[in-house]
Amino acid sequence: MNIVSAASALPEHYYDQPTVKKRLERIWAHRPEIVRRLDTLFENCGVEGRHFALPIERYEGLETFGQFNDEWIRCALELGEKAVHKALERAGLAPRDVDMIITSTVTGLAAPSIDARLCNRLDFRSDLKRMPLFGLGCVAGAAALARATDFAKANPKSVVLVLTIELCSLTWQRNDFSLAHIISAGLFGDGASCAVVTGAEHPSKGLRVVDTRSVFYRDTEDVMGWRIDEHGFNIILSPSVPSVAKERLGPDCAKFLSDHGLAPSDISFWICHPGGPKVLAAARDSLELSDDAVALSWESLRNAGNLSSASVMLILERTLQQRPPKPGSKGVLLAMGPGFCSELLLLQA
């Protein structure tokens, strides 16, 4: 199984943190206890700027969950289509070559799902297999890639698209004054990422997926996720996330690698989801890595924020473009998310 290409599509609207903070200070001016904390909270996010699905002034005009979700569907289709086109073009393939599409999101709802709606915009075959995923959150980019390789392993001539779309800004709620929501307003960004995965007998080659592993941590369902009510998505973001990452990620990855006769020191490139500064630092320390080993993750967090499931494939794209792995070298792609859980992929160039 091979990851042949990866591509991202980011909204045209880009705002630096001072601009976002100034807008929130005006909206939340009646809550001075929140406004006083914005400087510190935003600085701690480690984000300098982010892409937004809509012009920033548009968000105040959206009142209901339905209005936010309608915008989510519209923008998700536009970005998803762009990401698919770019990934297929880079792979030298066309929509009709695709046998399966796996789509993932945790920031909007659609039935028919986004993949079905894309079938009416792109020249996919009518026998295309579809697998929409919801609820995996930040781990979904890695998890969807792993499930794509499962399908490609069983169908060695197949082509699988993995598409993640997260429009985190469209989960914002003006009347949610929880600390988790305020932090999320400074941390999360918008974007889509797409990857092309092929089976071993397909002529298109790329990074070989040697193996994958899923790890579920029991009784941690309150660490991260959403509470969904009539107003929309209410984020659950526990301060224990970095602790879980630091405690579990290193040992779980070491066990995964040891089953292949490898140690972390044998890994030449790391593609890590950047949950936030504390989470990324905890992952780095747990895996005993240098900052340079996860430099693209730091860069992605700084310039785009946390894109939830789309982040790890954005970093995959930039790894292929900016730091192409040497032939024969081994790498690990990993992410953590609601459950709480982690997904690990062992790669070879």
3-state SS of the chain?
CEEEEEEEECCCEEEEHHHHHHHHHHHCCCCHHHHHHHHHHHHHCCCCEEEECCCHHHHHHCCCHHHHHHHHHHHHHHHHHHHHHHHHHHHCCCHHHCCEEEEEECCCCCCCCHHHHHHCCCCCCCCCEEEEEECCHHHHHHHHHHHHHHHHHHCCCCEEEEEEEEEHHHHCCCCCCCHHHHHHHHHECEEEEEEEEECCCCCCCCEEEEEEEEEECCCCCCCEEEEEECCEEEEEECCCHHHHHHHHHHHHHHHHHHCCCCCHHHCCEEEECCCCHHHHHHHHHHCCCCCHHHHHHHHHHHHHCECHHHHHHHHHHHHHHHCCCCCCCEEEEEEEECCCEEEEEEEEC
> Is it the case that residue 326 has pLDDT exceeding 80?
yes
Alpha-carbon distance 191 to 336, whole Å?
18
pLDDT, one tens digit per residue, over 116-154 is: 999 989 999 999 999 999 989 999 999 999 999 999 999
Instruction: Tell which CATH architecture fits domain 2-198.
Output: 3-Layer(aba) Sandwich (3.40)
Hey, what are 91's tokens? 């792979």
The model's pTM: 0.93
Omega cis (within 30) before 233: no
> Is it the case that residue 219 has pLDDT exceeding 90?
no
Active site residues: 138
pLDDT, one tens digit per residue, over 27-61 is: 999 999 999 999 999 999 999 999 999 999 999 99
Structure confidence at residue 235 as a pLDDT band (50, 70, 90): confident
Neighbour tally for 147: CB within 10 Å = 22
> Among the CATH numbers 3.40.50.1980, 3.30.1490.20, 3.40.47.10, 3.40.50.2300, which is that of 207-348?
3.40.47.10
- pLDDT for 87: 98
What letter represents residue 289's amino acid? L
pLDDT, one tens digit per residue, over 272-320 is: 999 899 999 999 999 999 999 999 999 999 999 999 999 999 999 999 9
Alpha-carbon distance 275 to 294, whole Å?
12
Alpha-carbon distance 165 to 128, whole Å?
19
> Is it the case that residue 234 has pLDDT exceeding 90?
no
What letter represents residue 142's amino acid? A
The domain spans of the chain are: 2-198, 207-348
Pairing of strands 330-337, 269-272: parallel
> Is it the case that residue 223 has pLDDT exceeding 90?
no
Structure confidence at residue 227 as a pLDDT band (50, 70, 90): confident
pLDDT, one tens digit per residue, over 12-32 is: 999 999 999 999 999 999 999
- pLDDT for 231: 84
Mean pLDDT rounded to a whole number for the chain: 94
Same fold, 2-198 and 207-348: yes
The residues that bridge with 272 in the sheet, in sequence order, are: 334
